[in-house]
Structure 1
Amino acid sequence: MSALIKQVAEHWEFVAPLLRKPKTEADYDQLVEALDELLDLTGEDEAHPLNSLVDIIGDWIEAYDLEHRPMPVASGVDVLRYMMREHGLTQSDLPGVGAQSVVSEVLSGKRQLNLRQIRWLAERFGVSVETFI
């Protein structure tokens, strides 16, 4: 038996709970808590020896989320409504989309956003153009 495997075998009972993909909500919650602790410990140090464990646990949490908590698909108009609400904006506050009547037609589904409007919105809100497509 190699020295590395011997060390792993000696410490397995202590690290095993962190080295299992989550199968239940309890497993998931345990990994999220562990990840939070690890991130507090590693901070911004990209060379920290525990960063590989952070990556592994993060990947497992992400995979569990994708399988069990899929993100709903939002249209560009849905995103625009949300952004307007979050930023406290009215239809008149979006001159890059057009006059208030144009924004109203976009929000009601009578008109689609064009590429120029999408680019303006992406720049206005500091997001990628894909957000509104």
Structure 2
Amino acid sequence: MSRDDVATLTHHFAIITRKIPLHPIADDAQYEAAIEAMNGLIDAGAGDEGHALAPLLGLLGEVIAAYEDATSPPPDAAPVEVLRLLMEQHGLKQGDLPEIGSQGVVSELLSGKRELNRNQIARLSERFGVSPATFF
């Protein structure tokens, strides 16, 4: 590959990546931008395997799936695992959840000595913007 080829590719790649994130997604804002780009590609017909941008849509789908896999609890996750994941995603420590109790209560929940009650689940689902069913 010549220097001119590299320069041309660099130019085109910069233009593409302004619109379509082709890197690991780091946060929810980047995730939303990636979803918007994916929807735009689908609307443009890239969902058809014969479309010139179909491989780009496939790559973007893989980037989005990797973020979703890394940030979503497994479907059979125990409530405490969901809570741990949400705390990690939001950079929270045990003392940062006064809506469910003291740091000691949170510690007992995380260690399995206690289970979440309905009030705690309601407060957590509101705080994190998830369905209460997430904790069942």
Alignment TM-score, normalising by the size of structure 2: 0.48
Q: TM-score, normalised by structure 1?
A: 0.50
Computing the radius of gyration over CA atoms, which structure comes out larger, 1 or 2?
Answer: 1
